[in-house]
Amino acid sequence: MQQSESRAAVPLSNRVFACEPGAVHRLAAHLASHLVSLTAFRDSLLIMCIGTDRSTGDCLGPLVGSLLQERIRDGLRVLGTLDEPVHAGNLADTVRRIEAGGVMLAVDACLGQAEQIGSIAIALGPVKPGAGVNKVLPAVGTLHITGTVNVAGFMEYLVLQNTRLSLVMQMARVISDAIPIGFGLAKSTRSEATCRALEAR
């Protein structure tokens, strides 16, 4: 569970609402733009989906991971599913086992302001799992996607348990649809840029 976000934390231009038309393609475009900006990005992406299937609000990550496994493509690797979640108890060990280098996309749920519920944000830099419920865990990711599943500020554990699964599922579908599209766009853009650079020599 990611720390509560402020309005200033993620620009509105990098935030989409799962219920709005075109949410998948807008999120995919944001992801592609961020990936292309990373010099470490080549032809692969590790997706770390963080959360637990024991909490409705915190199951966004594992849901995304399980949905992604159904549409996996070359270059994409997923850690964290409903069957094998990456959560507070095993996150540090999981991170230690990952080979250094490459680009990692972290996916996690977060709590935020009431008007942000149902929104999905993407930003460069790591996510800080557990911060929303006062847990100290390793920061994860070269970039991250977070979905605001409920309101922050009061009895966070209870709030997470009383989050609507329908909302979390809708957000998970948008994220899991957008990631392969964005990844494909980024690979194509990087390939075209490489070809243009070679032709210019």
- Residue pLDDT, tens place only, 122-164: 999 999 887 656 677 889 999 999 999 999 877 787 888 889 9
Measured at the CA of 186, the angle between CA 185 and CA 187, to 5 degrees, comes to 95
Q: Which two tokens stand for residue 15?
A: 């935030």
Q: What's the predicted TM-score (pTM) here?
A: 0.88
**Greater pLDDT, 3 or 190:** 190
Q: What is the mean pLDDT of the chain?
A: 86
Q: Which domains does the chain have, with CATH numbers?
A: 12-200 (3.40.50)
Q: pLDDT class for 43, splitting at 50, 70, 90?
A: confident
Average pLDDT over residues 91-103: 87
Q: Which residues pair with 189 in a beta bridge?
A: none
* Chain centroid, CA 37 distance in Å: 17
Q: Give the DSSP per-residue string, 137-158.
A: ---B-SEEEEEEEEE-SS-HHH
Residue with the larger pLDDT of the pair 77 and 194: 77
User: What average pLDDT does this structure show over 170-178?
Assistant: 97
Q: Residues with Cβ < 8 Å from 188, sequence gap 6 or more?
A: none
Edge-to-edge order in the sheet of strand 15-17:
15-17, 119-124, 143-151, 104-112, 45-49, 76-79
Please give the Cα distance from 89 to 91 (Å, whole number).
6
| pLDDT at residue number 6 | 41
* Closest alpha carbon to 129 in 174, 155, 161, 95: 95
Q: How confident is the model over 40-62, as a mean pLDDT?
A: 93
pLDDT at residue 53, as a whole number: 92
Confidence (pLDDT) at 199 = 46
